[in-house]
């Protein structure tokens, strides 16, 4: 039976994944952790064990793993791309030392590890369209540097120590439960909030900038599917390209307009986040994930827009 520790459990992915995993594996078998308590997550903190864990503190992390006899670590605690450019030293510390501590305790306690990489693991010299699984990875953001190094470190722990490491390169993730914290793809989340509240959104990403995206239910499905995938079928491990759609601001706006016809989009481009977006792929080739563990996303842009607007409307009490 799996005994799972989720780091960053109160973040955008963790808050939904933890509850999803508790349904599959049982409340007592999924330990949520975060470096601090956050308001608004009472259900999560009360539905099972919750521990304070700062992943940069290897001793604290190891104590929690041993205390609960954890055998699977889903490591989500990380600094995202835009914050990483503001605070590169912090991004290195949390993303690299955090992952190193996770891998070390996994080696000592024989745990499996899942941790996400990102489209940020690619850079300007990567082929932009239909970006292959195995290609040039020379990112120019600190976040991207930590993601590539993290992929390599996870591969190293698998080959050298036999730690069962697995990961995907997530695109921008769109969800209504918890806001993302300081990413470049966040515009595609904020646009839905503003569409409902103000019928208008000012995008910090320029017209024509395509990026890969995915609705959260598909992202959760990717994690649970890869976690349980037959290891004999995995040629790759860290990390699989996965995507569900690729769009630019005008296309998501057009999708919203089908439901809110008066919605308007304008632009006030942030040069830092635009430069990051310009260095990332337009669209990923995720055939390796499809072939090796049956990746099969359910939501396209319009299906996501419909569900997002319905769910957010209820959440915002509109
Ligand atoms: N959504 C992330 C970001 O924008 C990409 O991994 O930073």
| CB of 118 closer than 6 angstroms to any ligand 1 atom | yes
| Nearest-5° Cα angle at 235, 233 to 238 | 115
Residue owning the nearest CA to atom 2 of ligand 1: 183
What average pLDDT does this structure show over 77-100?
Answer: 97
Answer yes or no: is the C-beta of 172 below 6 A from any ligand 1 atom.
yes
**Reported confidence tier of residue 108, pLDDT bands at 50, 70, 90:** very high
* Domain architecture of the chain: domains with CATH: 4-171+214-241 (3.40.50.720), 173-213+245-283+298-316 (3.90.25)
pLDDT single digits (tens) 16-42: 999 999 999 999 999 999 999 998 899
- Atom 6 in ligand 1: which residue has the minimum CA distance? 118
Distance CA 194, CA 4 (A): 36
pLDDT of 302 > 90? The answer is yes
Tens of pLDDT, residues 52-64: 999 999 999 999 9
Residue 181: what pLDDT?
A: 86
Token readout for 309 is 């607007």
Catalytic annotation on 143?
yes
Contacts 24+ apart (CB under 8 A), 289-292: 289/168, 289/222, 289/226, 289/240, 289/241, 289/242, 292/229, 292/233, 292/234, 292/235, 292/236, 292/240
Q: Ligand 1 within 6 A of 146 CB? A: no
Q: Tell me the pLDDT tens digit for each residue of 221-280.
A: 999 999 999 999 999 999 999 999 999 999 999 999 999 999 999 999 999 999 999 999
pLDDT at 121 over 90: yes
Task: Name the 3-class secondary structure at 205.
Answer: coil
Structure confidence at residue 191 (pLDDT)? 98
In this predicted model, what pLDDT tens digit does every residue of 176-232 receive, in sequence order? 999 998 999 999 999 999 999 999 999 999 999 999 999 999 999 999 999 999 999
């Amino acid at each position: 039976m799996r005994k799972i520790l989720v780091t960053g459990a109160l973040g955008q992915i963790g808050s939904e994944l933890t509850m999803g995993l508790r349904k599959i594996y049982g409340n007592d078998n999924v330990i949520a952790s975060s470096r601090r308590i956050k308001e608004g997550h009472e259900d999560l903190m009360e539905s099972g064990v919750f521990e304070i864990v700062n992943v940069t503190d290897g001793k604290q992390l190891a104590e929690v793993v041993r205390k609960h006899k954890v055998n699977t670590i889903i490591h989500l605690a990380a600094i995202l791309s835009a914050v990483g450019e503001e605070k590169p030293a912090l991004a290195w510390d949390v993303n690299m030392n955090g992952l190193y501590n996770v891998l070390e305790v996994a080696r000592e306690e024989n745990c499996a590890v899942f941790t996400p990489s990102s489209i940020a693991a690619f850079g300007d010299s990567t082929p932009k369209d239909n970006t292959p699984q195995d290609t040039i990875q020379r990112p120019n953001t600190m976040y991207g540097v930590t993601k590539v190094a993290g992929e390599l470190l996870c591969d190293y722990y698998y080959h050298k120590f036999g730690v069962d490491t697995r990961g995907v390169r997530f695109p921008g993730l769109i969800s209504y439960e918890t806001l993302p914290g300081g990413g470049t793809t966040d515009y595609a989340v904020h646009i839905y909030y503003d569409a409902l509240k103000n019928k208008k959104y000012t995008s910090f990403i320029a017209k024509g900038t395509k990026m890969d995206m995915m609705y959260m239910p598909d992202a959760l499905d990717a994690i649970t599917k890869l976690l349980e995938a037959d290891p004999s079928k995995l040629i790759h491990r860290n990390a699989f390209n996965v995507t569900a759609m690729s769009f630019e601001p005008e296309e998501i706006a057009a999708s919203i307009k089908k439901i809110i016809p008066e919605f308007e989009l304008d632009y006030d481009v942030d040069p830092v986040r635009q430069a990051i977006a310009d260095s990332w792929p337009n669209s990923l080739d995720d055939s390796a994930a499809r072939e090796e563990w049956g990746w099969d996303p359910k939501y396209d842009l319009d299906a996501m827009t419909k569900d997002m607007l319905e769910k957010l409307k209820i959440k915002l009490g509109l």
